[in-house]
Amino acid sequence: MSFTFLTKPAVQGFVDPVQGKCGTTGALNAVQNIILGKSSFNAYGSLFNIATGALRSSQQWSAISISPDDSTIPCFVFDTDASHIWTDKDDTANNVGFAQVDPTTGPWTVSATWGFSSGFSQLPNNVPYFQDQCWLAGAGSFWLVQCGIGNLISVCQASLDIGFWGHQYVGVSGASYTVVPGPQSSSQATAYWTGFKSNTTYVFGATVISLGADGYSPSSWPTPNGFITSAQIASYAPTDFNPAWTGIQAFAGPAYDTLDGNVIVGVSGSDGVTTTNYIAKLNASTGAVLWKTAVESADGFAAKGFKKSRIQNGYYIYFAQLTLSSGTLHVIETPSGTDHTMSISASIFPDNQSSDDVLGCVFCDTSWSGSGITLLNSTTASGNSMAALYFIDNITRVQPKAGFPKSFAQIQGFI
């Protein structure tokens, strides 16, 4: 394992020339070198080439009946080749419902919708009102694992009109769950999730879909689908991360490490006086805390930012902004937690960070200015938008853990 630090960070901003700033939220498909963002002002989605920053296409959400209100931001999920997005949809006849959107050309088109009609009396509570989701390719089909309002984990089949597929797990009451794809194969597909309810209630678990799950009939509900299970793997008290902590103040993640099949999280807590922030690794089978590395600031922590991270070569990249003009770059070796740091004199304020150790960058919603940065392509001297911040180069390439698709495009969630 090896890499080199760039002399100064390089910035690639993503700005829709028609709609302006693209930031605040979005979904990422790093393998295909494209990024989907949502204008925080005009409720547009925009599709960019990551390497050049060029706009490929854009669409006003309301024109295709996707939720246009900034207070109800669409929850995006890409499929492998980014030819489809799944998101929430304004559709009262189908109890909100889901939409499958083709974003590769303009104008974007809704290629399929599904949900639960008023006649579907077996509708489980809050299944369509999801707060987070991930896309899985395995176990003989395509699946969406949904985190519903409150404490629900449900599974939908991505290719069928009815959506719900006979599985709903009731977790910690009131917990807000975040879900990320895990290992996937022809016989099984796994998603990992974390739930954060309060400063003393945090859990980690998994949903496993086995071959045969697609043979279920939705009309059989409430009889569950016997080929899908969800279970809590571990729960955590503040002292599990720091013996002095009396509470957990923030939690981010999980991110899936394709190098060894475990997960990375960010956690911030306090002893009542001093706040400490860690990036930590959890064993995917037992939930044990394998290592933790302290970082100076948790400003870049965001549950749905962490989950989009691509960890293939054994590094997690994180930037902690300390002052208006300086910060510390952390490049953490994910097998061991060994931390390589570099002080950077630059005015960059990355929020909602996700790490990509293939491209050597952090994707984030950020602002930048000054001489301490390198501007890529048509990036302006100062800006405020979604961006890729490149920090390292010459990364030793590693093959992903067996059982995970090489086309790791299921990097998803919010930016």
pLDDT level of residue 415 (50, 70, 90 thresholds): very low
Q: What pLDDT score does 68 carry?
A: 45
Of 86 and 140, the structure prediction assigns the larger pLDDT to 140
Q: Which residue has the higher pLDDT, 332 or 84?
A: 332
CA distance 302 to 312: 20
Which tokens belong to 78? 């890409």
Least confident of 120-129, 286-295, 353-362: 120-129
pLDDT (tens digit per residue) in 276-303: 999 999 999 999 999 999 999 888 787 6
Distances (CA, A) of 90 to 30, 65, 98, 113, 162: 28, 6, 8, 10, 16
pLDDT top residue among 411 and 168: 168
412-to-188, 273, 408 alpha-carbon distances in Å: 20, 35, 11
Q: Where are the domains of the chain?
A: 4-393
Instruction: Report which of residues 409 and 1 the model is more confident about.
Output: 1
Average pLDDT over residues 70-84: 53
Give 22 or 163, the one with higher predicted confidence.
Answer: 163
Higher pLDDT, 414 or 150: 150
Overall average pLDDT of the 246-275 stretch? 92
Helices (H) and strands (E) in the chain, counts: 1, 30
Spatial strand order of the sheet with 315-323 comes to 315-323, 326-333, 339-344
Look at phi and psi of residue 288 and say left if phi exceeds 0, alpha if psi is from -120 to 50, else beta: beta
pLDDT in tens, 175-216: 889 898 899 889 999 999 999 888 888 999 999 999 999 999
Buried b (16+ CB within 10 A) or exposed e, 276-296: bbbbbbbbbeebebbbbbebe
Measured between alpha carbons, how far is 203 from 173 in angstroms, rounded to an integer?
11
Say how many CA atoms lie within 13 Å of 261 toward its Cβ: 13
Q: How far apart are CA 81 and CA 94, in angstroms?
A: 28
Span 4-393 CATH architecture: 7 Propeller (2.130)
pLDDT value, residue 400: 59
Top-ranked range on mean pLDDT: pick from 43-52, 62-71, 95-104: 43-52
pLDDT tens-place string over residues 222-242: 899 999 999 999 999 999 999
**pLDDT tens digits along 376-406:** 998 989 988 888 999 999 998 876 565 554 4
Please check the confidence at residue 3 and state whether its pLDDT lies above 50: yes
pLDDT at 407 over 50: no
